[in-house]
Structure formats: structure tokens, C-alpha cells
A and B are shown apart, each in its own frame.
Chain A
Amino acid sequence: MSRMKIERKCEILEKKQLGDAIYMVLGVGDIVSTSDTRPGQFVHIKCGHSRLLRRPISICEWTGSRDGDTLAIVFEVRGEGTAWLARREAGDFLDVLGPLGNGFTIQDGPYLLVGGGIGVPPMLGCAGAAGGSSTAILGFRSKDKAILLDRFASDCANCLVATDDGSLGYHGFVDALVRQELGKERHYQGVLACGPKPMLKSVAKVAEEFGVPCQVSMEERMGCGVGACLVCACDMADGSRKHVCKDGPVFDSKEVDWDA
């Protein structure tokens, strides 16, 4: 049987604004050291008593230590739940379920790490897991929305940025930079991507053209977060419907039905 799942109260150790997003470090006891934590997994956080559904938030990075493990999360205010979460301060406690889901499968790098907007933070965990030799390609709407650039610069061999309005780095979408990188001689183990679905679709297409394996982190409205309620359906290329929380959130890009 797999490891026991954990639900516990976790203290917010640190909170800061990161562009439009909020960065929080949670004290999570021994969650990291007693679970099989992988980049791309998420935690399911209760956002007040009046909201019945937890909110799934991707794990950005984590540490394991004798004084207590920590998890860092980064989220944007999307609705009432995340607005409630954004009002919590350091010292407050959160009801956390996790880590949940299947993360990225990472062996020795280098990988091409592709993040878009709020899909950028989970790629930082990938950068660490891949051993520092990877290339990050990060997409933002504009320069003032760009986050974690210094961290990626130090955890990756190379960090490229694209903005929709050209205010920082390449003017355009990340898939053009993916094409440029994959066109070089460098041998990438694979492409790992997290971001909006149209971005994932175009990145998956480029990776397939170059014959490079591609893993994508999908998003869907969730219920239980553990695979019991079956609401977070993701249409697969073979006509089946898998579930983002349990089968994903990370899928092989060739498994996904991109036209659904």
C-alpha cells in the first residue's frame, strides 16, 4: 500500500508579494521527509469554513530538515478561495492536505523547463531536481509580472524569458524559444512544462516535432484532490478521461487530447 496521506495544520512561516502572486513558506512538520515529494505535485488547502472545496496549489520548492520541513507555494488570487488565502499572514495556520498527485519524472538533466505565468513556480522545483544543468524558458505577460528570475538564473545553466508585450526578453510566446533551443545541438532529456493549456499545447507540438519527450502539468477544477470524486477530468488522446489530481497533474504530452 502506498504511504499514508496526511492532513495537518501548517504554520505560514513567511509571506511576500511576488509580482501579482503571493509567495508563502509553510512549516509542514515531517511531510517532506515522510512522503515521496516530487516537483509538480500540489497541496490541497482549505480556504475558510464557508468554502467546501480546498484549493489545489502547486508546490514551488521544499526543504527537509530536522527542525521541520518547509514547502513554498506561489499562487495568484483567482477567486474567493485564493482571496481568503491571500489574506492569511505569517503566523497563521493553514489546513493542508498533501503532497498530492504525480509530479514530473526527472532523471539527470539537462531538461528544457518551460513555465508560463503562474505555471513558472513549479518549474523551480524541477530545476533543482534536474541538477542545475537545465535551461529555463519562462513566459510572462509583461516585465512587471516576471517572477523568480534570480532563482532560475542560479538553479539553471541558462534562463530565457519571453513576454507577451516584449517589455522583457523575447517578444512573443515561449514556444518560439522552445523551438530555438531544441534546434540547437544540445541534447535535452525532455521538455517539462507548466502553464495555460494553449501554451502547453504549442510547447507539446514543438517537442513532438523534434522527437523530444514532453511532460505537461494540467489544470482542472478539483473536488477531493485524491482521486475519489472524479470531477477533474482530463480528456486523453485514446478517448478515455483521466483525472488531474490522481493520474496527473503531470501527464506525458502525447497522452493528452489537445483538441478537447
Chain B
Amino acid sequence: MPDVNLSVNLAGVTLKNPVVVASGTFGFGREYSQFYDLGELGGICAKGLTLHPREGNPAPRIAETPMGILNSVGLQNPGVDAFIGEELPFLRRFDTKVIANISGNTPEEYGIMCEKLSAAGVDMIEVNISCPNVKAGGLAYGTRPKLAAEVTEVAKRHAGSTPVMVKLSPNVTDITEIARAAADAGADALSLINTIRGMRIDVNTRRPVLKMNTGGLSGPAVLPVAVRMVWEVAQAVDIPILGMGGVAKGEDAAQLMLAGASAVAVGTALFADPFTPLKVRDSLAEIAGKQGLSAVSGLTGGVKPW
């Protein structure tokens, strides 16, 4: 394989390669560290944190759908303090970037968590304003430009020098509106897409498969939506994008990068194959090499629209 430079820059943070793992699919890294060295990853978006511990939603929390899955975990997590005390030191043992993901009930909660995480020295903070599985906060902030801007501002004010990346929801009419609001409020980067709200019904019992009735759709089924939204957002803002949604192979990641993403996240595909991120990384390098690029970052924004 030709020598292709894999490193990319995401809001001032250098990732050794453009493949990170998506929040909520990788826990805090402990489980997948039993398969390979986490230092192989460009970065790890850790499981979504809240100010206080949460037990999440009742099971069933997952349903398989055509080329996708629905989940309704509901932000089960040990809380930001337990993350800093017990999980972050573990993640720090690996040569990879640690991106903490946070959800708040109020802008103030986002602020408190940013302060704690910045002081703890995470590499980046991903501000989740798009979780479809919680009642308070979450998605509400991600569907209204004014609220998205407010949360972004508060997060930035409390994050010190730690870059803030705002995670956008696809469950909106015009994602560029929210993207612009977050960018104008000072976001250093955007990540998209979170899951798309969906539902599956067991025809025999007439019950929704998920105990919460609805959940968030992810997996290859959402890739085209992600590519389209990354493309739209890339044209609307000047800040870097972490693209995600259905990435299972190098070509998927390349599509997101061509659409405008600086880096990509792998999520659902991990469940079928824990080694997916490494395969995507290698395949991306091969694609870039074949196209005569000296760096994989050369793919970013390279789409040639008709």
C-alpha cells in the first residue's frame, strides 16, 4: 500500500487516523480493549454522561430493522464524576484521543460538566443535544436553533481551552439551521448524525418491540441520510465535522469525508464486528492511496456535485 498520511485535524486536535468510535456504542472502552489495543483508534467518543448517574430505560432496548437497529437505552451512565474518577484514567492508558460526550437537563448542567471534564483533561467535549431517548433536554435542545445556541454558549464558556463539538440530531426539517446556530455560538466542531427516531411493531403481539415504544435508528440504513446531512452542513458552516451514521466499511467513511467530514465515527457496525474501526481505517488509506492522495485528509470536502 502506498504511504498515505492518516492523521487528521479535528478542531485543533490531531487524531492519528480519522476513525473514532461513536458514543454509546463503545462504553468506556474496557470491553473492546479485550479485542485490540485502543491506541489503534483515532479517538474514542465515550458513552454519554449526565451530571448524575442514570439507570436508563427498561428493556427491551434494542430491535433489529432492515439494515439497521433501533435503540432506547436512555443514557444509562455512572455520572460525570465516576467517569472522571474511574473510567478516564483507564482510557488514558491508551495512545488515543478521549472525547467525552455529555447531556444535560438544563444549560447549567452542561456548564458544570464541561468545567469538570475540562479540568480532568479530556481532549474534546461532545455536547449531545440530540438524544431521542430521554424526556428532558436532549433532543429538545437539538431541534431549536435558539436553545442549541444557548447550550453551545454555556458549554464553551465553561470548557476552557477544551474544544467543544456539538452533536446534531437528524430529526429536524433543516439541519443547517441548527448547525449555523451552534457554529455562531462558538462551537469548535460539529458531529452528525445522531440516530433517527423510529419504531418497530411485533405484528403478533401488536406491541412495539421497544419498551419505550420508539427509539433511535442507526446502522447502514441511515448512511445516505448522514452523507446528505454532512454535505449540507459542510456548505453551511466553516467548522470541522465528525461524520457518522451507518459506517461499516472504508467506502462509507470515504463518502462522509468527501461530503465534508474531517473524521468519521463507527458505531453500530461494532456489534457485528468489533474490528470494524481498524478495517475502516485500513480501507480508507487504500482508497486515498488509489486516488493518488498523500494524505487521507485530502478526501475531506472533495465531492464533485452535479
Residues of A within 8 A of B (CB): 1-5, 7, 46, 50-54, 81, 97, 220-235, 239-241, 246, 260
In the complex the two chains form, is A53's CB within 8 Å of B35's CB?
A: no
**Within 8 Å CB of B220, what residues of A?**
52
B121 within 8 A of A: no
In the complex the two chains form, is A233's CB within 8 Å of B271's CB?
A: no
In the complex the two chains form, is A228's CB within 8 Å of B59's CB?
A: no
Identify which of residues 35-93 in chain B touch chain A, using a CB-to-CB cut-off of 8 Å. 35, 47, 55-64, 66-69, 71, 73, 76
**Within 8 Å CB of B71, what residues of A?**
223, 229, 231
Cα distance A221–B63 when bound, in Å?
8
**With A52-B268, A54-B271 known to touch, is A5 a contact of B34 (CB < 8 Å)?**
yes
In the complex the two chains form, is B31's CB within 8 Å of A246's CB?
A: yes
Chain B, residue nearest A220 (CB):
B59
18 contacts between A and B (CB under 8 A): A2-B34, A5-B35, A50-B66, A52-B67, A52-B271, A53-B69, A53-B272, A81-B64, A221-B59, A221-B209, A223-B71, A226-B32, A227-B30, A227-B31, A228-B32, A233-B73, A235-B59, A239-B55
In the complex the two chains form, is A226's CB within 8 Å of B34's CB?
A: yes
In the complex the two chains form, is A1's CB within 8 Å of B34's CB?
A: yes
In the complex the two chains form, is B268's CB within 8 Å of A231's CB?
A: no
Q: How distant is A36 from chain B, measured CB to nearest CB, in Å?
A: 13
In the complex the two chains form, is B58's CB within 8 Å of A226's CB?
A: no
Cα distance A223–B56 when bound, in Å?
16
In the complex the two chains form, is B64's CB within 8 Å of A51's CB?
A: yes
In the complex the two chains form, is A224's CB within 8 Å of B25's CB?
A: yes
B298 within 8 A of A: no
Q: How distant is A35 from chain B, measured CB to nearest CB, in Å?
A: 11
In the complex the two chains form, is A233's CB within 8 Å of B272's CB?
A: no
The list of the 7 closest CB pairs from A to B, nearest first, reads A228-B27, A231-B62, A231-B61, A226-B31, A5-B34, A228-B31, A233-B59
Chain B, residue nearest A2 (CB):
B34
**Within 8 Å CB of A233, what residues of B?**
55-59, 61, 73, 76
Q: How distant is A11 from chain B, measured CB to nearest CB, in Å?
A: 19
**Within 8 Å CB of B209, what residues of A?**
221
In the complex the two chains form, is B31's CB within 8 Å of A223's CB?
A: no
In the complex the two chains form, is B56's CB within 8 Å of A230's CB?
A: yes
In the complex the two chains form, is B59's CB within 8 Å of A232's CB?
A: yes
Among A81, A220, A221, the one with the most B-chain Cβ atoms within 10 Å of its Cβ is A221
Cα distance A6–B68 when bound, in Å?
24
Q: How distant is B69 from chain A, measured CB to nearest CB, in Å?
A: 6
Q: Is the interface of B mostly helix, strand, loop or mixed?
A: loop
Cα distance A23–B198 when bound, in Å?
36
Cα distance A20–B27 when bound, in Å?
37
Q: How distant is A103 from chain B, measured CB to nearest CB, in Å?
A: 17
In the complex the two chains form, is B67's CB within 8 Å of A230's CB?
A: no
Cα distance A225–B47 when bound, in Å?
16
In the complex the two chains form, is B76's CB within 8 Å of A54's CB?
A: no
**Within 8 Å CB of A2, what residues of B?**
34
Cα distance A220–B270 when bound, in Å?
19
Q: How distant is A248 from chain B, measured CB to nearest CB, in Å?
A: 12
Which among B26, B59, B68, B219 is the interface contact of A231 at CB below 8 angstroms? B59
Cα distance A53–B269 when bound, in Å?
9
**Within 8 Å CB of A234, what residues of B?**
59
Q: Mark B99-129, 1 if CB is under 8 A from A, else 0.
A: 0000000000000000000000000000000
Chain B, residue nearest A234 (CB):
B59
In the complex the two chains form, is B64's CB within 8 Å of A231's CB?
A: no
In the complex the two chains form, is A52's CB within 8 Å of B25's CB?
A: no
Q: How distant is A137 from chain B, measured CB to nearest CB, in Å?
A: 28
Cα distance A97–B273 when bound, in Å?
9
Cα distance A194–B201 when bound, in Å?
28
Identify which of residues 203-226 in chain B touch chain A, using a CB-to-CB cut-off of 8 Å. 209, 219-220
Q: How distant is B195 from chain A, measured CB to nearest CB, in Å?
A: 13
Which among A54, A221, A230, A241 is the interface contact of B27 at CB below 8 angstroms? A230
Q: How distant is A166 from chain B, measured CB to nearest CB, in Å?
A: 27
In the complex the two chains form, is B24's CB within 8 Å of A7's CB?
A: no
Q: How distant is A18 from chain B, measured CB to nearest CB, in Å?
A: 25
**Within 8 Å CB of B62, what residues of A?**
53, 221-223, 229, 231-232
Q: How distant is A45 from chain B, measured CB to nearest CB, in Å?
A: 11
Chain A, residue nearest B272 (CB):
A52
Q: How distant is A14 from chain B, measured CB to nearest CB, in Å?
A: 26
**Within 8 Å CB of B26, what residues of A?**
228
Chain B, residue nearest A239 (CB):
B55
**Within 8 Å CB of A232, what residues of B?**
59, 61-62
In the complex the two chains form, is A50's CB within 8 Å of B55's CB?
A: no
**Within 8 Å CB of B301, what residues of A?**
none
**Within 8 Å CB of A260, what residues of B?**
58
**Within 8 Å CB of B25, what residues of A?**
224, 228-229
In the complex the two chains form, is B27's CB within 8 Å of A227's CB?
A: yes
In the complex the two chains form, is A229's CB within 8 Å of B34's CB?
A: no
**Within 8 Å CB of A224, what residues of B?**
25, 31, 270-271, 274
Q: How distant is A225 from chain B, measured CB to nearest CB, in Å?
A: 8
Which among A4, A227, A229 is the interface contact of B35 at CB below 8 angstroms? A4
**Within 8 Å CB of A3, what residues of B?**
34
In the complex the two chains form, is B270's CB within 8 Å of A228's CB?
A: yes
Which among A4, A81, A223, A228 is the interface contact of B69 at CB below 8 angstroms? A223
